[in-house]
Amino acid sequence: MAAKQETVSIEKYMLALGAQAKQAARVMSMATTEQKNNALETLASLLLEQQENLMRVNQLDLQAGKERGLENAMLDRLELTPQRIQAMADGLRQIATLEDLIGDIDHVTTRPSGIKVGQMRVPLGVIGIIYESRPNVTADAAGLCLKSGNAVILRGGSEAINSNKAIGDCIQQALAKAGLPKTAVQVIEVTDRAAVSELLRMDQYVSVIIPRGGKSLIERVSKEATIPVIKHLDGNCHVFIDGQADEAKAIAIAVNAKTQRYGVCNAMETLLVHIDVAAKILPALQKEYAKHDVELRGCDRTRKILSNVTAAKEEDWSAEYLAPILAIKVVDSIDDAIDHIEKYGSHHTDTIVTENDAHAQRFLREVDSSSVMLNASTRFADGFEYGLGAEIGISTDKLHARGPVGLEGLTTQKYIVFGTGNIRE
């Protein structure tokens, strides 16, 4: 009986959050830029003022996490430090400086019938965000949703519940001070997984779900949701060193794409090298990778050129290592490189290094990934580097938002028509 009662109460609790969010979304869609920026600035100040309190509450989560035997990496991500609180505040202040797109009218044309047609940029409505242990996502995601005129329901990891609630309280205070509805940002305060299941099915209230986390979270969300999902699955990124690559650029890019950071979705996981340059470039690269302790796994031809390289297995070509491991394959042509990327890639980010214009054009046009690059490191695939100001994630979907998703990805356009009494003949 107890279990059943709890399920009912979670359903009611979630439906209430949804209804409140939908009401708040209507107000948020009409909020002025000044109100929204005030809320962001106030929140930044509040987080800094509340630093001691936030860290004290965060200790409860850390203590509980230690007792539950969480790994050190997880505990590290969970921890709020003065630097991390400062970074949250800085992020919010940066969002305040970004242009407010809401209400912009584009593409206005006058039609033969006499009507004027344009498109107005408007918020999506209510956004549901599901994320894992880092509590700073609570402030970042709320900031982006707030600036884009949306309401948001936030579901963080259960291990960060006390931290997320405390940050959520600060957000609601800041909203109220700016004259905006507190319920524009709501943190789900129950840790039961049933709350997520409810959220994923509240079509009547929620416009879109954005999961941020590991592959299993995102797969579960995609499978269960009856609401559209903006998702980011694997980043199995490639660098292809063409037969007409500049050697220095090729080495710099291949080293940077693999070693600048390992645990990120835009790190290179497979290196493709044209047969014409493999014998020259691979030994030079091996020396560089050795400095970073990167383990190399190669195809047969790679292993004829380099010693001390493990044989790559079929599954290596699909792997997202997120670690100092690199798969290497020697290919005969740009066609083979594109075919390999099409077969094994995850459509995230792929780069060609070449000085040949025709090859560059073919690669940019034919590779079907959210970012395709010429002579640049895959590590640039990121909202800040692209000038979006901030990002809520990197979408590997094709519809609505593809690649880094900033404020614009959290909006939609509606058609607006100006007439003077026009009727259709």
What's the min distance (Å) between Cβ of 393 and a copy of itself? Answer: 14
Nearer to a copy of itself, 4 or 343 (CB): 343
Nearer to a copy of itself, 196 or 230 (CB): 230
User: Strand, helix or coil at 129?
Assistant: strand
**Which residues, 48 to 107, sit near a copy of itself by CB under 8 A?**
103
Please check whether residue 257 is in contact with residue 351, taking contact to mean a CB–CB distance below 8 angstroms.
yes
Binding mask 121-160 for a copy of itself (x = CB under 8 A): -x-xx-----------------------------------
Q: Which stretch binds a copy of itself (CB under 8 A): 86-94, 111-119, 178-186, 294-302?
A: 111-119
Task: Dig out the tokens for 100 from the structure.
Answer: 């407010």
Nearer to a copy of itself, 13 or 386 (CB): 386
Q: Which of 227, 196, 147, 226 is nearest to 17 (CA)?
A: 196
Please list the residues that pair with 103 across neighbouring strands: none
DSSP string, 200-261: TT-TTT-SEEEEES-HHHHHHHHHH-SS-B-------EEEEE-TT--HHHHHHHHHHHHHS-
**Which residues, 393 to 422, sit near a copy of itself by CB under 8 A?**
397-400, 402-404, 412-422
Task: Dig out the tokens for 315 from the structure.
Answer: 């599954």
Check residue 381 for interaction with a copy of itself (CB under 8 A).
yes
Binding mask 225-264 for a copy of itself (x = CB under 8 A): -x-x-x---------------x-xx--xx-xxx--x----
What's the min distance (Å) between Cβ of 170 and a copy of itself? Answer: 29
DSSP state for residue 39 in the 8-state scheme:
H
User: How many residues belong to the chain?
Assistant: 425
Nearer to a copy of itself, 180 or 253 (CB): 253
Q: Which of 298, 303, 308 is nearest to 270 (CA)?
A: 298
Q: Which of 313, 240, 325, 324 is nearest to 276 (CA)?
A: 240
Q: Which stretch binds a copy of itself (CB under 8 A): 73-81, 115-123, 138-146, 168-176?
A: 115-123
Check residue 176 for interaction with a copy of itself (CB under 8 A).
no
Binding mask 190-229 for a copy of itself (x = CB under 8 A): -----------------xx--------------x--x-x-
Q: Which of 84, 201, 374, 389 binds a copy of itself (CB under 8 A)?
A: 374
For helices 33-49 and 82-97, angle between their N-to-C axes, nearest 10 degrees:
170
Check residue 173 for interaction with a copy of itself (CB under 8 A).
no
User: Strand, helix or coil at 424?
Assistant: coil
Check residue 33 for interaction with a copy of itself (CB under 8 A).
no
Q: Which of 75, 325, 385, 389 binds a copy of itself (CB under 8 A)?
A: 385
Q: CA-CA distance, 165 to 89, in Å (whole number)?
A: 17
CA dihedral 144, 145, 149, 153 (to 10 degrees): -160
What's the min distance (Å) between Cβ of 136 and a copy of itself? Answer: 21
Please check whether residue 89 is in contact with residue 99, taking contact to mean a CB–CB distance below 8 angstroms.
no
Task: Dig out the tokens for 302 from the structure.
Answer: 């790679």
User: Strand, helix or coil at 392?
Assistant: coil
Task: Dig out the tokens for 134 from the structure.
Answer: 């880092």
Nearer to a copy of itself, 246 or 320 (CB): 246
What's the min distance (Å) between Cβ of 30 and a copy of itself? Answer: 7
Q: Which of 150, 286, 370, 396 binds a copy of itself (CB under 8 A)?
A: 370
What's the min distance (Å) between Cβ of 59 and a copy of itself? Answer: 35
For helices 82-97 and 136-147, angle between their N-to-C axes, nearest 10 degrees:
10
> What sign results for the dihedral spanned by CA atoms 54, 55, 59, 65?
positive
**Count of Cβ atoms closer than 10 Å to residue 13 Cβ:** 17
What's the min distance (Å) between Cβ of 228 and a copy of itself? Answer: 5
Residues of this chain that bind a copy of itself (CB under 8 A): 26, 29-30, 103, 109, 111, 113, 115, 117, 120, 122, 124-125, 207-208, 223, 226, 228, 230, 246, 248-249, 252-253, 255-257, 260, 342, 364-366, 368-377, 379-381, 385-387, 397-400, 402-404, 412-424
